[in-house]
Amino acid sequence: MTGRKGVTGAGGSSGEVPAAPEKDARFRAVPGALYVVATPLGNLRDLTLRALDVLATADVIAAEDTRTASILLRHYGIVTRPQSLHTHNEALRAGTIVERLARGESVALVSDAGTPAISDPGAHVVRRVRAAGYPVIPVPGPSAVAAAVSAAGLVAEDFLFAGFLPHAAKARRDRLAALAGLPFALVFHESPHRVRAAIADLAAAFAPDRVLVVARELTKAFETIAAMPLADAPAWLAADPNRERGEFVLIVDAPPASAARAAELDAQGERWLAALLAELPPARAARVVAAVTGAPRDAVYARALALNPERAP
């Protein structure tokens, strides 16, 4: 539904409410354009001025959760009613949005929090709109990934964002095994319902001295950012039930430099690994060789993939 933007105030003798002054064209949403708008993670004051301009002047606001979006819009006095666009209706809504753009309307896309289309709905809509020839304009701002990495103090110069881990235990462990040998910091989103299992699997999949950074409830009242060796992480989480509440970003830092040096297998270790790869999957072969040689398991796994890449999960 398209809402009209205005302000209330005392009317003149006719009793009419005066219209709000028109915004400068530079601060209005452009007709026929889709705006991908980042919204606050929790603190409503994190909305950028440009995002406020777009939300206040867009003809349509497509929101992952209309209730969440309405709280933000009411806070800033924006009367446009958001329309739902979530995982289950995104394909249908994408066609509708293209039709609205064709009529010369402007559309703002928002998720529950942070930047749309990053582990949230939106990518399908963006593809459809771009394929139809209409502009897609990012309005950058809050991002849980950027916020967590900026406050993590990582050793790694590079990081890989892996999104949400699979729900099923076996699929989750296979995914971590595939990532274990990468020399980057690894960044994950996680929900409160699965964070205990996810951290337990992280501790099992990676070297125990790799650092885990747990960032939860970013920008909210109970924001927590804690760093610890992976070996200590399950006990840290279990020590306080409140630590399992909220939305999480989990960051596994890159292996320490000492672990990287220790990863160089001697000739005997190379022979063990090559022989085992003829009989076992890379993850299992790496586990055996790490146990025999004392080399970090994730580093041995990386070497196993280098020797036999076609068997990577």
Interval 171-191: pLDDT, tens = 999 999 999 888 899 999 999
Considering its fold, how many domains does the chain have in total?
3
Q: What is the pLDDT of residues 54-74, one digit of tens each?
A: 999 999 999 999 999 999 999
Residue 247 reports pLDDT greater than 90: yes
Mean pLDDT of 119-139: 96
pLDDT band for position 266 (50/70/90)?
confident
Distance separating alpha carbons of residues 20 and 23, to the nearest angstrom:
9
Residue 311 reports pLDDT greater than 80: no
For residues 294 and 220, state if they share a domain.
Answer: no
Domain end among 74, 108, 141:
141
For residues 231 and 156, state if they share a domain.
Answer: yes
Domain end among 211, 231, 255:
255
Distance separating alpha carbons of residues 156 and 252, to the nearest angstrom:
10
Please report whether residue 89 resides in a domain: yes
Residue 309 reports pLDDT greater than 80: no
pLDDT at res. 313: 52
Q: What is the pLDDT of residues 42-58, one digit of tens each?
A: 999 999 999 999 999 99
pLDDT at res. 265: 66
For residues 150 and 132, state if they share a domain.
Answer: no
- Asked if residue 181 lies in contact with residue 212, where contact means CB atoms within 8 angstroms, the answer is no
Please report whether residue 1 resides in a domain: no
pLDDT at res. 12: 37
pLDDT band for position 298 (50/70/90)?
confident
| Token representation of residue 166 | 């699979």
Question: Best-predicted range by mean pLDDT among 29-43, 268-282, 286-300?
Answer: 29-43
Residue reference for tokens 């349509």: 60
Query: Domain span at residue 154?
Result: 145-255
Distance separating alpha carbons of residues 169 and 61, to the nearest angstrom:
37
pLDDT at res. 107: 98
Please report whether residue 2 resides in a domain: no
pLDDT at res. 286: 86
Distance separating alpha carbons of residues 19 and 306, to the nearest angstrom:
67
For residues 36 and 93, state if they share a domain.
Answer: yes
For residues 104 and 206, state if they share a domain.
Answer: no
Mean pLDDT of 100-122: 95
Please report whether residue 128 resides in a domain: yes
Could you tell me whether strands 136-139 and 185-190 are parallel, antiparallel, or unpaired per DSSP bridges? unpaired
Domain end among 218, 238, 255:
255
- Which CATH number does the domain housing residue 219 bear? 3.30.950.10
For residues 194 and 282, state if they share a domain.
Answer: no
pLDDT at res. 300: 83
